[in-house]
Amino acid sequence: MLRPRYTSLIALLTLLPLGAAASQTATDRHIDSLLAAMTLEEKLGQLNLLSAGGKASPEQTALVRRGLVGGLFNVIGTENTRAVDRVATTESRLKIPLLFGLDVIHGFRTIFPIPLAEAGTFDPELAEATARAAGREAAAAGINWTYAPMVDIARDPRWGRIAEGSGEDTYLGSLFAAARVRGFQESILATVKHFAAYGAAEGGRDYNSADISPRTLREVYLPPFKAAVDAGVATLMSAFNDIGGVPASGNAWLTDTLLRREWRFNGMVVSDWTSVAELIPHGIAGSREEAGRRALTAGVDMDMQSSIYVETLAPLVQSGRIPMAVVDEAVRRVLRAKARAAALKPVAPNAVEHRALARRAARESIVLLKNDRSLLPLDRATPVIAVIGPLADNQLDPLGPWHTDGKPEDVVTVLQGIKTRVPSGTQVLYAQGAGIEDPSTAGFVEAVAAAQRAKVAILVLGERHDMSGEAASRAYLGLPGVQQQLLEAVAATGTPIVLVLMNGRPLILEWAAEHVPAIVEDWYLGVESGNATAEVLFGEVNPSGRLPVTFPRAMGQIPLYYNHRNTGRPPAADKFTSKYIDAPVTPRYPFGYGLSYTTFAYRDLKLSAARIGPSDSLRITVTVANTGTREGTEVVQLYVRDEVGSVARPVRELKGFRRITLKPGESRPVELRLAARDLAFYGLDMRSAVEAGTFRVFVGPNSMEGLEATFEVAYP
């Protein structure tokens, strides 16, 4: 018989604010008492996570009543979450509240730029603010748990999910990971995902195997997860992929040895969507119960959508094949997450503020890729402007691949943004020209005619929102459909062209890069898409976004990333060096790259010491001048290269950056700090250490330029 004090966990949990060690212990004590009162079936029920279609189905509600569901996701709206939570907290035997999950990735109702775009702001505080806003809106709709941030490093633009993360760089990705965790967790629990190396899918094909060295795993793919753990992330999601034959959702080394023992993560691990059942097709389990046993004993606490734990594991626990202690520990983690969710104090969302924040984020995310002879910014009083392309007046696609509760009607299109900014004397001609993937060229005539009449043609081209994101790998990275032909047909009119791109990944843009005078990378900017774009086109805003990922010149160059190793035969004139016989090795646009309407010059790079010890740090100063005629923001980037190590080190690694805004003619010293411990890497013995030796420092505007200096690290 249950003692009354176990009957209302919800009251109990809300009474126990998290954070103070004493309350933490008290929560744990209560959780232990609750565990003692649970049947095995109820325990496995807490580990069961099901997706609903907007609201819980009658069948799901019945399972909740029986205590066989620990959480639901995709239940949206407080009416719906409350209705089923009421069943859990009043009609189930133990009255344990549910977790309500949702993929709140780059906004809930107010849709912000996609995470990849936002990483290009090099402004983690901004990402913290947008995550906070998204968390507040989601919490107001009954959600207490998001499946974000996605922190997978992605070096392969074929992989559609590159849109959801922070790009190719580990340092930048780690800062954004921690910032987003802090932002979300004001109001809802965050989930860092997908653990691990999901972004290393071979061939950029989603769900594919990753086979990377332990060193690359540790140095490149894992640090953003560690940063999220250190920032206090409540939950972590195990990935779909295998790493060298061991699927991440049944990998005890990953989710137990590394995560829990080495990193001391004490939160909950949730599987990805049916990734427990997928251990069968992976080929490491011959049955559902075996798949469940592998996953649970590896440390995957909650089973998303497979229903394997709740339906098949009881006999294995009863027969001792799965120790009860393993089940209890998983349940404890789920209940702790619930206690943590109950202790959150969400702040009410402010739609007006969020909209303003969306504008700021959109402005800062835009990257100016090319601007020959200063075609941009445009004069608003240009008598006739043609606006062309399938994304020019499109309200759906700027929302990006995950737009949760975002509404197309909230989106300002580029055409609308332009129209509201031009004086009455300016004529804006619009022609869609083509569809995104549609093979028809019937609309070209109208588009060409509009361009012929105009002084400038703005083409808004790119991908449909669902051409990136999950299950959206592409083998060809040009403009889809007949958009390339449309671009060439419009360019043939001789009217100067501005190409505005909307896409969730780097595209291969060789023709445009050579023939189009101005290129603006919008990514997917969310609801303020058209306003921010028009502000940039007309020069109200000077673009300051930088590429968080390399743009290749050719498919065959992929994977192409800035922090590669040098090889024994770095590319040179000699034939027998590491290169292609039919394409350059250099990127079209490198990591960190982005232009401004002004120009910046770097001088006087100085280091505070020529030699430092392993626990010292270095002050690096450089003077940056705005040498143009407009105010502008520069992202000053610091890279290092370890000349000689026990293992070969990358040719450059980002170690710091600073956004600075300078008036025309203004120059300012910028200081960046580099601690010797930031130079640590996994040496021959696979221990992370700082090795003595000479390091090169580069400070400049992107990963291929900059001033250089050297210093030494010496042990006393």
Binding-site ranges for ligand BGC (CB under 6 A) = 103, 147, 193, 272-273, 470
CA–CA dist 544, 421 (Å, integer): 21
Place of tokens 């010496």: 714
Chain position whose Cβ is nearest to ligand BGC: 147
Report the residue number, 51 or 427, with the smaller CB distance to ligand BGC. Answer: 51
Report the residue number, 328 or 470, with the smaller CB distance to ligand BGC. Answer: 470
CA–CA dist 398, 412 (Å, integer): 9
Residues 703 and 637: beta-carbon distance below 8 Å? yes
Write down the catalytic residue from 85, 272, 397, 405.
272
HEC string for 564-589: CECCCCCCCCCCCCCCCCCCCCCCCE
Tokens of 4: 């009354």
Residue whose C-alpha is closest to residue 368's, from 630, 34, 586: 630
Tokens of 36: 């003692």
Report the residue number, 193 or 546, with the smaller CB distance to ligand BGC. Answer: 193
CA–CA dist 605, 625 (Å, integer): 13
Question: Virtual CA dihedral for 375, 380, 386, 389, nearest 10 degrees?
Answer: 80
Residues 652 and 710: beta-carbon distance below 8 Å? no
Residues 342 and 95: beta-carbon distance below 8 Å? no
Give the number of other CB atoms < 10 A from CB of residue 304. Answer: 25
Report the residue number, 276 or 670, with the smaller CB distance to ligand BGC. Answer: 276
Name beta bridge partners: 380. none
What angle separates helix 529-537 from helix 351-365, to the nearest 10 degrees? 40
Residues 44 and 314: beta-carbon distance below 8 Å? yes
Q: For the CB of residue 282, give the shortest distance to ligand BGC in the complex, in Å.
A: 15
272 is catalytic: yes
Q: For the CB of residue 521, give the shortest distance to ligand BGC in the complex, in Å.
A: 25
Report the residue number, 168 or 272, with the smaller CB distance to ligand BGC. Answer: 272
Place of tokens 């059942």: 277
Q: For the CB of residue 193, give the shortest distance to ligand BGC in the complex, in Å.
A: 6
Report the residue number, 198 or 593, with the smaller CB distance to ligand BGC. Answer: 198
Q: For the CB of residue 201, give the shortest distance to ligand BGC in the complex, in Å.
A: 12
List the end-to-end C-alpha distance of the chain, in Å, as a whole number: 68
Q: For the CB of residue 188, give the shortest distance to ligand BGC in the complex, in Å.
A: 14
CA–CA dist 207, 204 (Å, integer): 9
CA–CA dist 387, 379 (Å, integer): 15
Strands (E) across 118-267 are located at 145-146, 191-195, 235-238, 242-243, 246-247
Q: For the CB of residue 263, give the shortest distance to ligand BGC in the complex, in Å.
A: 21
Q: For the CB of residue 277, give the shortest distance to ligand BGC in the complex, in Å.
A: 13
Q: For the CB of residue 240, give the shortest distance to ligand BGC in the complex, in Å.
A: 6
Report the residue number, 403 or 588, with the smaller CB distance to ligand BGC. Answer: 403
Report the residue number, 114 or 499, with the smaller CB distance to ligand BGC. Answer: 114
Residue whose C-alpha is closest to residue 294's, from 337, 253, 347, 344: 253
Which active-site residues does the annotation give?
A: 272
